[in-house]
Amino acid sequence: MGIPYPIFPCGKNKAPLTPHGYKDASSDPQRVKEMFKISPGSRIGMPTGDASGIFVVDIDVKDGNAAVDWMVAYDLHNHTKCVRTQSGGYHLWYQMPAGVPLRNTASKIMRGVDTRGNGGYVLIPPSDGYSEWNNLEPAPLPDWLLAELTSQPDPVQANHSHMPAAPRRDHGGTPYGLKALAEECQAIRTAPFGQQEHTLNASALKIGALVGGDEIEEGLALSDLLSAGRSIPSQPGRPAWQPKEIDSKIRRAFQDGMRNPRKPDRLPDDGVDYAAPFLEKIDNRANLPERNVGALIPNSIMDVDGFLADFVNYTTRTARRPQPFAALSAAISLVSALAGRKYRSPSDLWTNLYTVSVIDSSGGKDHARKVIKRLLTAAGLMSYLGGEDIASGTALHTSLRIHPCKLFVLDECGDFLKGILGPKASAHKQQIARRLKELYTASGDVVLGTEYADQSEKNGRPREDVYNPIATICGTSTPAQFWDAVAGASLADGLMGRFLVFIPQENYPPLQDGEILSIPDDLINGAKAIVAGSQKHQPHNLRNLMNASEAADPYTVPFAAQAGPEKSRIERRQETLLKQNEGTYITSLAGRIVENAVKLAMIRAISRCPHDPIITQQDMAWGGELSLHCFDALRSGAERYAADNEGQARMKMVKEAIRTLGAATKTTIYRHIGGKMSIKERDEAISALVEGHWITVEEKKPMGAGRPSQVFRIAQGN
């Protein structure tokens, strides 16, 4: 039996490992075996276009979320095969149209939307970093999308010979055009009620005219207008703006403007960077998406029931700025602690988990933590709640000795992790990290206490052991704090890989008037039911249930018939990741995927039916999908920010500064990094990045006298 698509081996840098690149691709099993035998553990490339019959639309996120917004607005990811990429973007697979010579394009549709047809190739699952987002088959390419890809430029745009020569351009437009774009986007965002639609149309028309006049790059202009339009708040008495509605209005006015190109009076072309203040405004739009490296959250991940659903619904309804994904993280953590010592899986995994929600300041990260406190107070279960700070490993051990199931709700979790994992962590802070790693795997065992010289019963301090401890962390952090902790941590030591990282699609979802509601009885009773445990099982000694000095006797939650094969599928995915990343820190992150998946599946089953839980195939699939999603979020951030040494850390810091600025000089890079390195260290990092082809350098000569300047940009594919 042949292979569905022709394939060929690629290296970790995505480059083909065969003499003729994608032209060597084959679907013959023997030929494929020979190619990959020479390059074991390599990634898998597939030629696009007529060679495979697959045309790929590449949704890139390096310039922010505008391309993802476009994909979501048209619901493209739910109607054809979709693959999650290493960078956090998406590949939409379509059937290659017969007889249409579609080739590769870059931002022809809009900024951040590229395509791969004849002459191109993509990496495919199960390559490291690439996973199937859904199990659909490639659909025919939509007619409207095919029309956009085959359209020819408007003649009036193609010939500007009658117009004056365009001035110096930088970062997608002239100084005048970039200034106008920033101002019109701001006008859209701040338009008063009653004037929003008029402002939207007028601004899109003006910017379209400047694009037609070659003042702004089309992809940049349309991307920024769409982003500004989707930030418009709802008007009183009017239904909320829908993305497709906004998209349609902007595109219509934008195209009308392009048909009537406009060129303004010229600014002096004297070599002065008039665009600098406007570039700073425009590039600020990328800061949050670039620092928060999460991805589109599949609807299936939010498909929960029972206590989890009740908690998420209540938390979302009562929030000023609703964050359902963060609410799900908190709900999972709460069930994790409440179910502790009462349930375990057939493989002797218990429910303890560490989660962290990464949301920017004022983005709604605190509300779920408040709901946890109110709920436990109302249910009389405050003994399950640990302190909001952990002073030392000994303090953590003592807390679990008093009550062996504890939920530690940690704000500023990024700072906490940096404090215990960073190179400057004190001895007692390092002890916390060691203890947390130990506790994560010790739920089915006993954690031994400290040995003291005098252990006599009268005046001494006997060793205090803790049996079956359940330590759960529900953390929240800003992106800057969390990724700084990741950058400074040794990822190979394993603690960071034990965290499930929850990153929402939006740092700032629309505000709402959160309802003031008392904790519902359903939530209170649900929490108590989980604490009560399974009705099918009672421990041999009820006193042991919360007695840290003796072993617990939990109920083993069984697997349904199809849950086992589902678990095996996740295990195969983990094995692939481990083999492809052998010898790197990625293995410490990937090594917990299956373990976390089983724990999550068990938590979902307990949430649905605490008195008689069974792990179904759906539970296991949900646990696997969520575990992989959180792993992808952590790996994407780690690859961007983590470093093995100080030199590599400086390189990544400079690279991220350039990514955020879009186009940067040495001066703007130095200002952006805020003096975190010397000028010599900056220059060494830049030289290394240029030599490694991670960034490009362009020398710009001034119009008059003066020295040329160097402009740095992120290299394509990085």
Task: Encode 447-502 in three state secondary structure.
Answer: ECCCCCCCCCCCCCCCCCCEECCEEEEEEEECHHHHHHHHHHCCHHHCCHHHEEEE
Percent of the chain with pLDDT over 70: 85
Q: Given the structure tokens 């970093």, which residue do they identify? A: 129
pLDDT in tens, 489-514: 777 778 888 999 999 988 888 888 87
* 249-253, 306-310, 596-600: range with lowest mean pLDDT: 249-253
What would the two tokens of residue 215 be?
């003042």
* 71-85, 90-104, 260-274, 295-309: range with lowest mean pLDDT: 260-274
CB atoms within 10 A of CB 441: 15
Answer whether residue 543 shows pLDDT above 90.
Answer: no
Burial class (CB in 10 A: 0-12, 13-18, 19+), 95: middle
Percent of the chain with pLDDT over 90: 33
C-alpha dist (Å) from residue 1 to 4, 31, 215, 572: 9, 13, 55, 21
Q: Given the structure tokens 């199931």, which residue do they identify? A: 405
* 247-261, 336-350, 688-702, 703-717: range with lowest mean pLDDT: 703-717
Confidence grade of residue 289 (pLDDT, cut at 50, 70, 90): very low
Work out the average pLDDT over 673-692.
84
Q: Which architecture characterizes domain 646-714 according to CATH?
A: Orthogonal Bundle (1.10)
Q: Given the structure tokens 């900056």, which residue do they identify? A: 682
Work out the average pLDDT over 653-681.
82
The DSSP symbol for 443 reads T
What would the two tokens of residue 13 be?
């840098």
Answer whether residue 660 shows pLDDT above 60.
Answer: yes
- State the Cα–Cα distance between residues 602 and 610, nearest whole angstrom: 10
Confidence grade of residue 280 (pLDDT, cut at 50, 70, 90): very low
pLDDT in tens, 346-378: 999 999 999 999 998 889 999 999 999 999 999
* 34-48, 135-149, 270-284, 439-453: range with lowest mean pLDDT: 270-284
**Cα angle for residues 244, 288, 680 (degrees, 5° grid):** 140
- State the Cα–Cα distance between residues 630 and 501, nearest whole angstrom: 5
Q: What is the CATH number of domain 8-150?
A: 3.30.2250
- State the Cα–Cα distance between residues 638 and 490, nearest whole angstrom: 11
Q: What residue ranges do the domains of the chain occupy?
A: 8-150, 168-291, 299-556, 646-714
What would the two tokens of residue 329 be?
């993280």
Confidence grade of residue 328 (pLDDT, cut at 50, 70, 90): very high
DSSP class per residue in 303-354: ---HHHHHHHHHHHHT-SS--HHHHHHHHHHHHHHHTTTTEE-TT---S--E
- State the Cα–Cα distance between residues 467 and 446, nearest whole angstrom: 4
Work out the average pLDDT over 560-577.
90
Work out the average pLDDT over 531-550.
73
- Highest mean pLDDT out of 411-415, 545-549, 613-617, 668-672: 613-617
* 330-339, 357-366, 701-710: range with lowest mean pLDDT: 701-710
- State the Cα–Cα distance between residues 676 and 671, nearest whole angstrom: 10
123 within 8 A of 14, measured Cβ to Cβ: yes
pLDDT of residue 679: 87
CB atoms within 10 A of CB 678: 11
Answer whether residue 281 shows pLDDT above 50.
Answer: no
Answer whether residue 304 shows pLDDT above 90.
Answer: yes
Please check whether the two domains, 8-150 and 646-714, share a CATH topology. no
Q: State the sign of the Cα–Cα–Cα–Cα dihedral 26, 29, 31, 35.
A: positive
Work out the average pLDDT over 675-703.
83
Answer whether residue 307 shows pLDDT above 70.
Answer: yes
Q: In sequence order, which ranges of 584-678 are alpha helices (DSSP H)? A: 586-590, 593-608, 617-641, 646-661, 666-673
Work out the average pLDDT over 334-350.
94
- Highest mean pLDDT out of 82-96, 185-199, 613-627, 630-644: 613-627
Answer whether residue 171 shows pLDDT above 50.
Answer: no
- The single-letter code of the amino acid at 625 is E
Work out the average pLDDT over 53-78.
83
DSSP class per residue in 532-563: H--TT---S-GGGTT-TTS----EEPPBPTTH
Q: Cα 543 vs. chain centroid, distance in angstroms? A: 44
Of 159, 243, 253, 157, which Cα lies nearest the Cα of 201?
253
Confidence grade of residue 163 (pLDDT, cut at 50, 70, 90): very low
Work out the average pLDDT over 398-414.
92
Confidence grade of residue 418 (pLDDT, cut at 50, 70, 90): confident
Answer whether residue 457 shows pLDDT above 70.
Answer: no
Of 213, 378, 217, 185, which Cα lies nearest the Cα of 284?
185
Confidence grade of residue 479 (pLDDT, cut at 50, 70, 90): confident
Work out the average pLDDT over 72-83.
87
> Torsions phi, psi of 352, nearest 5?
-65, 135
393 within 8 A of 370, measured Cβ to Cβ: no
Answer whether residue 475 shows pLDDT above 90.
Answer: yes
- State the Cα–Cα distance between residues 74 and 568, nearest whole angstrom: 35
**Cα angle for residues 554, 560, 562 (degrees, 5° grid):** 140
Answer whether residue 612 shows pLDDT above 90.
Answer: yes
- Highest mean pLDDT out of 182-196, 330-344, 523-537: 330-344
Answer whether residue 56 shows pLDDT above 90.
Answer: yes
Task: Give the CA diameter of the chain.
Answer: 101
If one compares 541 and 166, the residue with the highest pLDDT of the two is: 541
Confidence grade of residue 276 (pLDDT, cut at 50, 70, 90): very low
Summary mean pLDDT of the chain: 82
pLDDT of residue 469: 93
* 146-155, 364-373, 544-553: range with lowest mean pLDDT: 146-155
Please tell me the number of Cα atoms within 13 Å of 96 on its side-chain side. 23
410 within 8 A of 389, measured Cβ to Cβ: yes
278 within 8 A of 182, measured Cβ to Cβ: yes
**Beta bridge pairs of residue 358:** 477
* 18-32, 113-127, 662-676: range with lowest mean pLDDT: 662-676
CB atoms within 10 A of CB 694: 17
- Provide the b/e sequence for 402-420 (b: ≥16 CB within 10 Å): ebbbbbbbbbbbbbbbbbb
Q: How far apart are the first and last CA of the chain?
A: 37
What would the two tokens of residue 492 be?
């190979």
What residues contact residue 309 under an 8 Å CB cut-off, 6+ apart? Answer: 607
Answer whether residue 283 shows pLDDT above 70.
Answer: no
284 within 8 A of 660, measured Cβ to Cβ: no
DSSP class per residue in 571-587: HHHHHHHHHHTTTSTHH
If one compares 458 and 155, the residue with the highest pLDDT of the two is: 458
* 86-90, 257-261, 449-453, 621-625: range with lowest mean pLDDT: 449-453
- The single-letter code of the amino acid at 707 is R
- State the Cα–Cα distance between residues 525 and 247, nearest whole angstrom: 45
- Highest mean pLDDT out of 1-5, 384-388, 534-538, 643-647: 384-388
pLDDT of residue 448: 85
